[in-house]
Structures are given as C-alpha cells and as structure tokens.
Amino acid sequence: MKTEKTKMKLHVKIFIALFAGIVFGYILNSFGGSDHPIVGGYIMPFLQFMGDIFIRLIRMIVVPLVFFTIIDAALSLGDLKKLRSIGVKTVIWFLSTGMISACIGLVVVNIIQPGKGFDMGVEVAAIEAKELPGIYKTIVDLFPLNPFAALASGEMMQIIVFSLFIGIALLGLGEKAASVSRAISVVSEAMFKIVGYVIAIIPFGVFGLMSVALANYGLAIFGPVAKFIITDYLASIIMTVVVYSLLLVFIAKVSPVMFWKKAFEPWMIAFSTCTSAAALPVAMDITPNRLGASKQVSSFVLPLGCTAQMNGTCAFFACIVVFAAQLYGMEISIQQQIMLCVQATFLSVGCAATPQIGLVISLTLLTQMGLPLEAYALVAGIYRIIDQIHTATNASGDIVATVCIAAMEGELNREVFNDPNAGIKATA
C-alpha cells in the first residue's frame, strides 16, 4: 500500500538554511572572520562561491524569463483592449502603493526620530554623488535606444517596454503571427522548466550568502544604528502586514491569512537573497497555481512589478532623508516631505531589481536636497540587513498587486485561492 508524503516546503528549507547561515556565520565571525587565515582564506571564499553561483543562475534566467513571459502574456490576453485595461490598472497600482509606502516611511521616521541624539563623533569620508535624474528623464529612460543592448545589460524596464511592443505588434498581426506566437509560448514554458532546476539550489545559495554576511559583520552591525534599523523595518512591516492585508480584503475580497500562508515562500526568498529577481520564478509559479490569479495576469504583472514596484525601497528613501536631517537638527518642511514622497515614488519605478540599488539612489536624493552624507556612510555598513526587508516588501507587493488586479479583471479563481492544498505536489 502506497502512502503519500508531502515534500518539505521550499520556504521551510530556506528558513533552515537562513538560520544555519546566521549561526555558522556568527561562529566564523567569532574566530576573526575574514582576518582569520583559514576562515578568510578558505571557508568564506567557498561560501561566497555558493552564493555567487546561485545569484549568477538567477541572473542567467531572469532576463529571458521576463522577455518571453511578457510577450506571451500580452499574446495570451488576445485583445488589445484587455491589455490596455490591465496595463493602466497596473501602472496606477504601482504608483499609488509606492506613494502610500513613502508616506508610511515619513510618518514612522518622524515619530521614532532615529537621528536625534546620535553621536556623530566619527569622521566620514567625502562621497561623490551623481546628479539626480528628473521625472522626464526617468520616463524617457524607459524606452531603449538599442533593445539588444538593453537585453545584454539587463535593463529590466527597457526590456519590459520592448517586450510589450513586440507583444502588441504580434497581436495586431493576428493570424499571420500564429506560428511565432506558438513558438514564444513554448520558449516561455522552457524558461519555467529551467526555473524549476534553479529553485532546487536556493537553500544552498541562501546559506552561503548569510554565512558570509554574518562572518563579515557579526552581531555588532545591530548596535550603532539599531534605531534606524527598527524604524526602517517598522515602516516596511506596516506596509506589508497592514496595507497589503487591507488591499486584499477590500479590493480582492480574499482572506489575508490564506494569502500569507501561500505567499510566504517568495517573501522568504526575497528576504534571504536581497533581490526580487530571485523570488520572481517562485512567485510566477504559486500566483496562478496556488493563489488562483490567471496565468495571463500573473505573467504580465509580476515581471513588471519585479522592476517597477519597489514599495519597501520607497519607505527607505523617506526614512534615510529625514534621518540625515535629524542627525544635524535640520528641519524639513511639510512641502519638502510631500515632494520627497513624489520623488521617491518615481525613483522606485526606475530602480533595477538588484541588491544595493536603493543605497545608490538614496545618495542622489540626499545630495539633491542638500543634506549631509553622513547618514549614507552610517547606513551603508548595514544596508544588507535592512535591504532584506525592503526586498521582501517589494516581492510580496508584486503578488498582492497581481491578486488584486486579477480580481478586478474577473481573472481570480477563488476556489483555488481558498483551497489550502491547491498547487501542492505530493510524492509517493
């Protein structure tokens, strides 16, 4: 008699790897970290090698995955009117939630005031900042000068725009493009097959990355800027737990509890790896199969959200600007803070889905507003820790957006959503 047993869930494996990486990294740090000849010369390079292989595999697949799935998603909608409907809703959603997240960041940082009473007795090296691009330039940069260069360099927003143009053009050709459309659909499925292979090594990559991070910094990273870390985490947690749940209740009309049970895996992947691209393949699997959003909507919204919806990063932009002002007792007017929310929202739309990008963009914000750059130097050392919650907020926000937009379009299978076992594969 055969008995069925369920495989250990991916998020459980990732959590185990994450915790093991923290413990092992702390042990390595207690031995001296990179300064120890064996730890720094042999163990940490091997752990970094594990993490690098994982990140490279993700980067290998994410560009062709986004390129072909966006085209396939546009074609599967079968109607330019439907494509326009979903596209407009998606853009409005991203801008609105980004603005909400930036406002939450402002409220939290003004209440906690992490920069007040901070000892600035350390000397900070001068940092050369780049000029902040304006809103018009941000929009212009969405359109590639050379689509092939954009594909080669991984400019995600430009790739998405180019993919949409191809999808729209093929839709306009009708039956003439039928064979090409079928080929793209097959290639899109092949990308997901490759994704399945890459997913299997996620726990190993997470273990390597977290071990190296803790071996380098140890628990001391939570000391000097603990108040800022708490502020930043609190803003992202409010956005995730409160705002996302309210959107699920009132827009999608579904249970947030059921949602978070099923959406925890991509949240954990994003939190562990600090890149939304790593969570994208898993999100594109669970959103149609476990949460019931149609594949057409999922394949359109998720890749776009991976680059264009950065709610956690929006909150961080607001937090670090006010933090910098508080360090030196500078006042930021209400009007300036409102403009900060607008700038943060548009900047987040242009952010690439890569680690450290929020730190790079925050430097330009501080420079443009004439604020001291000491906050940048202080936060840079612990950015890997706070970027984890930013990325997790970004990735889960993409899934929330997909479920809500699918519900608005009548493309949400509520039976699948409410079935706790939907999409779970069992092995004999």
Task: Please give the Cα distance from 26 to 44 (Å, whole number).
Answer: 12
> Which run of H or of E encompasses 427?
strand 426-427
CA distances to 39, 42, 273 from 45, in Å: 8, 6, 18
Q: What is the pLDDT of residue 417?
A: 93
Q: What is the pLDDT of residue 237?
A: 95
- DSSP letter at 419 equals -
Number of neighbouring beta carbons within 10 Å of residue 226: 12
- Hey, what CATH topology would domain 5-427 get? Proton glutamate symport protein (1.10.3860)
Q: What is the pLDDT of residue 262?
A: 92
Q: What is the pLDDT of residue 320?
A: 85
Among 275, 221, 213, 199, residue whose Cα is nearest residue 21: 213
Extents of the domains making up the chain:
5-427
Q: Do residues 184 and 163 touch, judged by C-beta distance below 8 A?
A: no
HSE (CB half, 13 Å, CA atoms) of 152?
5
Angle at 47 between CA 43 and CA 52, to 5 degrees: 145
For residues 20, 22, 28, 34, the Cα torsion angle rounded to the nearest 10 degrees is: 130
Task: Please give the Cα distance from 264 to 375 (Å, whole number).
Answer: 32
Task: Please give the Cα distance from 155 to 353 (Å, whole number).
Answer: 10
Q: Give the three-state DSSP class for 153.
A: helix
Token representation of residue 142: 């969405």
Ordered mean pLDDT values, 10 residues apiece, the chain (428 residues): 56 75 85 81 86 77 78 72 79 88 92 72 39 62 86 76 85 83 84 75 79 73 70 94 95 94 89 80 89 88 80 87 78 75 68 57 66 62 79 92 93 91 61
